[in-house]
Amino acid sequence: MSKIVLYGFDGSTYVRTVRMLLAEKAASYELVPVNVLKGEPREPAHLARHPFGKVPVLDHDGFRVLETSAIAAYLDEVLPGPSFTPDNPKDRARMRMAMSFIDSYGYGALIGVAGFHLFPDFIGGQNEEAKQQAIATSRRVLAELMKLRGGDAHIAGARPSLADLYLAPICFYVGLTSDAEEVFAVDGFAPWWERMQAMPSYQATAPQLG
């Protein structure tokens, strides 16, 4: 039996993305905790795994994969179970565009909103002006993602893709804040969010808060 070891922090949205995928694939794995809030990714043991001190890191039968996009694509390809990569070029392009939007523009903004309320020390304190800018950028990103989705149930088609697994864990944290209603007031977002929250893999991977 192949062995999967995932290094990461239970509270990391990117680690949850990978954990959701593993749950969807019904794959067994070992989660080795690396606490981001305690600075553990910057310690020598983890820097030996990831030179830039990031999580997650994946080891699969002696093969190491870094960066969530590469980890998710690799696992989706090598593990049995439902595919989370669309089967046609246009929908694959939609998925990849969405993942790039999230990585490049969405993550920092959405986590900026969540962090203002939930972990201000981690993001450098509470700055109201910065929060308002983050809300505006978050709404813009979500609007573009919903435009990509169009009339489909999910971002890149009728079925969930890696793009959906990217976005949902980040929205989880925003959803815990008093700014969620404003951030999420984007055409098309509500039905997508309801579908994602209903997924068993989403429910099974909720971080342990507190």
Residues 195, 174 share a domain: yes
pLDDT in tens, the chain (210 residues): 579 999 999 899 999 999 999 999 999 999 999 998 888 999 999 999 999 999 999 999 999 999 999 999 999 999 999 999 999 999 999 999 999 999 999 999 999 999 999 989 877 889 999 999 999 999 999 999 999 999 999 999 999 999 999 999 999 999 999 999 999 999 999 999 999 999 999 999 999 876
Residues 108, 188 share a domain: yes
Residues 180, 125 share a domain: yes
> pTM for this structure?
0.95
Domain boundary residue, one of 78, 100, 122: 78
Residues 103, 159 share a domain: yes
Residue 146, domain member (yes or no): yes
Specify the number of domains making up the chain: 2
Residues 129, 101 share a domain: yes
Residues 55, 25 share a domain: yes
Residues 120, 55 share a domain: no
The CATH code of the domain that includes 183 is: 1.20.1050.10
Residues 31, 123 share a domain: no
The CATH code of the domain that includes 61 is: 3.40.30.10
Residues 53, 98 share a domain: no
The pLDDT score that the predictor gives to residue 210 is 60
Residue 209, domain member (yes or no): no
How is the chain classified by DSSP, letter by letter?
Answer: ---EEEEE-TT-HHHHHHHHHHHHTT---EEEE--TTTTGGGSHHHHTT-TT--S-EEEETTEEEESHHHHHHHHHHHS-S---S-SSHHHHHHHHHHHHHIIIIIHHHHHHHHHHHH-TTTTTS--HHHHHHHHHHHHHHHHHHHHHHTTSSBTTBSS--HHHHHHHHHHHHHTTSTTHHHHT-STTHHHHHHHHHH-HHHHHT-----
Residues 115, 73 share a domain: no
Residue 187, domain member (yes or no): yes
Domain boundary residue, one of 78, 99, 121: 78
Residues 113, 57 share a domain: no
Give the residue numbers spanning the domain of 24. 4-78
Residues 200, 96 share a domain: yes
Residue 158, domain member (yes or no): yes
The pLDDT score that the predictor gives to residue 38 is 87
